[in-house]
Amino acid sequence: MQETDSQRLEEARDVMISALAQSMVAYGVTPSVGRIYAVLYFATAPLTLDDIKDEVAMSKASVSTGVRELIDTGMVVKVWKKGDRKDHYIAEKDFFTNFLNFMVKMLRLERSTIHKAVEQTEPVMREIAQHAADSETRALAEKDLALLTDAKPYLRWIMQLANAMESGDIFEHFPRPEDEEPSSGPQPIQENIAHDKQ
């Protein structure tokens, strides 16, 4: 029996959904959570947790946890739909935005973690380098201090990089390419929808 166009489209979507789910590992989420994002990415209207659950064959509790994780990364947004008390969710469909949001978050986390450690350990190392009774210990402390000093330009650089990504200045150096083929067809339904500010 020959496949219908609808069936072929569904199969093509499944291939893309699987690929997106696997690629989400790069953003620190599991393939199962990535599948939630992929389903929302192809959705033409906001979905509830029950809608998503039916699509991904996961428990509602697992879907809820996965959606919260995606909200934390900025890849999914909770929206309000007029006339419906249930929460609805939509995917951020701009890959550039997803990438920048994730990288800014990770760069700031890396910088903050290392910077706090440097602030905590540098005075100790300096005091040991200057006043330790054992010359070998002083020499080791001096080498460790040099490593911290070498790390500081990197910490400044990743902060500048995060700022450039957040402001969009990064595109002055790496321009966002124009779409070669403008998208066509029906756009996702957005009527009666508002982003949840909470």
> What pLDDT digit, counting tens, does each position of 56-112 carry?
999 999 999 999 999 998 999 999 888 888 999 999 999 999 999 999 999 999 999
Q: What is the pLDDT of residue 81?
A: 83
pLDDT in tens, 128-165: 999 999 999 999 999 999 999 999 999 999 999 999 99
- Looking at the domain assignment, is residue 123 inside a domain? yes
DSSP letter, residue 47: B
End-of-domain residue from the set 36, 63, 93: 93
**Alpha carbons within 13 A on the beta-carbon side of 172:** 7
Q: What is the pLDDT of residue 190?
A: 45
Share of the chain above pLDDT 90, in %: 76
Mean of the per-residue pLDDT values for the chain? 89
**Within this chain, do residues 32 and 43 fall inside the same structural domain, yes or no?**
yes
End-of-domain residue from the set 93, 124, 151: 93
Domain that holds residue 139: 95-173
189: pLDDT strictly greater than 50: no
**Within this chain, do residues 131 and 164 fall inside the same structural domain, yes or no?**
yes
- Edge to edge, the sheet with strand 88-91 lists 88-91, 76-81, 193-195
**Within this chain, do residues 108 and 43 fall inside the same structural domain, yes or no?**
no
**Within this chain, do residues 9 and 57 fall inside the same structural domain, yes or no?**
yes
